[in-house]
Amino acid sequence: MSKPKVASDWMAGCAGCHMSLLDMDERIAKIVELVDLRSTPITDLKHPDESGVDVGILEGGINNTSNEEVAKMMRKRCKILVALGDCAVFGGVPAMRNFFTIEETLRRAYVETESTDAEGKIPDDPELARPTRVRAVHEVVPVDIFVPGCPPDADTIFYVLSELAQGRKPVLKDDKLHWH
């Protein structure tokens, strides 16, 4: 049996969940033995294989049209989709902005911040992704496995990946279940 293919990507997050993944230290070698690690934001290959992967991992919520594309592409190309971390699972810290309108948040970020001079303006290049309300991944595409945590512990990520690599569905409970 060939090794299961795994791809990951990140969206509206802080990269912390991927850092936590690396935090499993030498166990990452074990994971690489068990799986065929394909595209990730921290390796050369950036997009999951068109031919598909077995496991897709998404970090971060979905806060613009570009994120939507990333999520949809991953969903299309993977068999099992994992939402990794509080942002992907709930919306997380970026979702704090949902308490304001998008106009308010853009104005605050690009015009009103104390370090912005009089030239400050909200970027309006049509090439740019359009910001949206911050959504959890499962609000945009169906998710198979939720791994909450801000970030999830390296132990939890190792458990999830090793279970998936061995064809089992990980069940998060007790020590492995944390939302923050």
Partner 1 sequence: MITLTIDDQKVEVPEGTTVLNAARKAGIHIPTLCDHPHLKPYGGCRLCMVEIEGFRTLQASCTIPATNNMVVRTTSDQIRKARKFVLTLIFSERNHFCPYCQVSGSDCELQNAAYGEGMTHWPLQPNWQPYPVDASHPYFILEHNRCILCRRCIRACSELVGANTLGVEERGAKTFVIADLNVPLGESSCVSCGMCVQVCPTGALIDRRSAYRGQNTTVDHLQTICAGCSVGCGLDILTRDQQLIRIDGNWDAPVNQGVTCKVGRFYPAFDDRERLKTPLVRKNGALQPVSWEEALMTAAQKIKAASGHGLAALASTRLPVESLHLFRQLFLDDLHSEMVTSTEEGSRTAILSRWAEKLGKPFEGKVERMHEAGAFLVMGADLVNEHEVLGFFIRRRFPEPIKLIVVDENENGLGDLAHCALTPQKKTQATLLRGLIAAVAKLGQNQVAFNGQPDEEVLKASSACGVASDLILEAAYQLTNSESPLIVYDPATIDDEIMQLLLDLSQTTGSALLSVKGGANALAAAQLGLDKPFKLNGSQVAYVAIGDEEPKEKFIQQLEKCSSLIVQASYHSRLTAMADVVLPVVNWLEQDGHYINLEGRMQTATQVLKPADSIWTNEAVLTALAEKLDVNLANDWESTLSKRPSPVSIAA
Min. distance of Cβ 1 from partner 1 in angstroms?
A: 28
Neighbours of 16 (CB within 10 A): 21
Residues contacting residue 30 through CB under 8 Å, at least 6 positions apart: 162
Residues that bind partner 1 (rule: CB under 8 A) add up to a total of 30
Min. distance of Cβ 90 from partner 1 in angstroms?
A: 6
Min. distance of Cβ 103 from partner 1 in angstroms?
A: 15
Torsion of CA 105, 86, 61, 37, to 10 degrees: 140
Q: Does 94 bind partner 1 (CB under 8 A)?
A: no
Judged by DSSP in three states, 30 sits in helix
Stretch that binds partner 1, among 42-50, 72-80, 110-118, 128-136 (CB under 8 A): 128-136
Instruction: By CB under 8 A, name the binding residues for partner 1.
Output: 83, 86, 89-93, 95-96, 98-99, 133, 135-136, 138-139, 143, 145-148, 150, 171-174, 177-180
